[in-house]
Structure 1
Amino acid sequence: MLNWSPGAIKGTVGVGGLGMLMWSISSLDKLHVHFWVAFVAALLPAIIFAFVTTDFLSERVVKPAQWFAIAWYFAVALVSLLIAAYRGFERSDAFFVIFVALGAWPCIVAIRALRGLSRHLPTPRAQFHQKSFENEIVFRANRMKAFLMLLVSMGFVAIGFFMRYDEPFLGWATICFFGLGIPVFSIMLIPGLSYLKLDRSGFEICSFWRKHMTQWADVVSFELISIQRTKMIGIHYRPGYARQKLGRAISSTLSRVEGGVPCQYKISAQEQLSTMEAWHARYSRSD
């Protein structure tokens, strides 16, 4: 079964749904189909993949639901393509082919998993050997998610552009809201904006050029956690650690850990955890 994070689902199947919607949006009036009906039909597979999961339901429910989402995605893609062919292809249609193909990728992954043919993809190799320690290691952020969310924002802005004639308020509201995401996600593509650095004294998290350093000696242990299917490295601080008391108390109430390190770098979550544990064991007791 497909068990991707909601962000990955929105950035792939959701983007594919937007592409299909853009193929057919100019013909909805002629077909006497309301925009919201087409909107829900295009995004239904993304909704199913994101919310019908084994985190909340049994496999007996999730498996047929995912099969339905896969079949629905390809059926709507075919209908949208036929609608675009009927009205006549335009140059912009070629751009949305990329969107639809991107959405087909997780559907194919889900088919392989549901049929028992999936194979574990090789874990990205670390840039070092875990048993060897350097002065510092820097993991750069994986910018693919930001790129996918940029495509989502651009897709919704394009939808709002076409909607503004029939529903001016809703169209312009869509353009303004999702238009704000375009500069944000564009900035996130800048190299060096976000990273995780490990050195002999501790680990440093940088996000939007804001840096936060934590000493190895202040940490008791790490663990891999999942919050709404988004993986993070949970932090348990030593007794007596005095910084960020309020934030740690809130975090502990919500997720059983006092802090977290995002898993958004060019390394798997499990390998990131193993690496941080190795460095913690090596340097938390050093002078």
Structure 2
Amino acid sequence: MKREPQIFRPDKLKNSILFLGCSAFVTIGIFILDRDPKIGWGCIIFFGLGVIISLIQFYPNSTYLKLTDEGFEVKSLFRFHFTKWTEIKDFRQGQIKGNKMIFFDYTDKHKKWKSGKEVAKFLSGKEGAIQSSYNIKAEELLNLMKEYKLKSK
């Protein structure tokens, strides 16, 4: 029996905190321009990009995670990629600098992103990862992804 796709959107609270934090640092950068222009402009440019990214994530369908019977699609800043369940070996939950994530390794059939997978494996011990910044808890997402993968066999 075919299931309806499940779509998870970015957590609005986390995104609002990102927006407010970046906006505060842009404001600080503006106030210190007279005393230290390099640091002031650095704050304005770096955190200004954070403001822009957080605003884009409020835009509908710019960022999401979609689970289907065939695989999962990750869309971020209007760019997306689709991965079939059959291309994944396993899933596990982990953290990078306190941020919960879902890690996974690809099967030998998966030939895309060879250098990207090597870098990810070096940094995290796994070839791929999905952030837990969606409107679902990391543990629930992990269990759901395992369930989808199991039913895809």
Give the TM-score category using the shorter length. Answer: 0.7 to 0.9
> In the TM superposition, what whole-angstrom CA distance separates every residue of 1:195-238 from its partner, at most 9, and x where no partner exists?
11111111111111111111111112111111111111111222
> Which is richer in helix?
1
Comparing both chains, which one has the higher relative contact order based on Cα–Cα distances under 8 Å and sequence gaps of 6 or more?
2
Match of 2:150 in 1: 281
Residues of 1 paired with 2:91 and 2:45: CA distance?
41
1:246 counterpart (99, 104, 115) = 115
Identity of aligned residues (%): 32
Residues of 2 paired with 1:173 and 1:220: CA distance?
42
Match of 1:225 in 2: 94
| Structure 1 letter corresponding to 2:122 | T
**Structure 2-normalised TM-score?**
0.87
2:59 counterpart (186, 190, 204) = 190
Match of 1:21 in 2: none
> Once the 2 structures are TM-superposed, how far is the Cα of residue 133 of structure 1 from its aligned partner?
6.8
Match of 2:32 in 1: 163
Could you say what the CA RMSD is over the residues aligned between the two structures, in angstroms? Answer: 2.0
> What pairs up with 1:145-156 in 2 under 5 angstroms?
145-156=14-25
> Once the 2 structures are TM-superposed, how far is the Cα of residue 173 of structure 1 from its aligned partner?
4.3
> Which is richer in strand?
2
> In the TM superposition, what whole-angstrom CA distance separates every residue of 1:28-66 from its partner, at most 9, and x where no partner exists?
xxxxxxxxxxxxxxxxxxxxxxxxxxxxxxxxxxxxxxx
| Structure 2 letter corresponding to 1:281 | L
Residues of 2 paired with 1:136 and 1:185: CA distance?
25
1:208 counterpart (55, 60, 77) = 77
Who wins on radius of gyration, i.e. which is larger? 1
Residues of 1 paired with 2:31 and 2:25: CA distance?
10
**Structure 1-normalised TM-score?**
0.49
Residues of 2 paired with 1:182 and 1:168: CA distance?
22
> Once the 2 structures are TM-superposed, how far is the Cα of residue 247 of structure 1 from its aligned partner?
1.1
Residues of 1 paired with 2:93 and 2:22: CA distance?
30
Q: 1:220 to 1:171 in 2, by over 3 A?
A: closer
CA contact (8 A) 2:2 2:69 kept: no
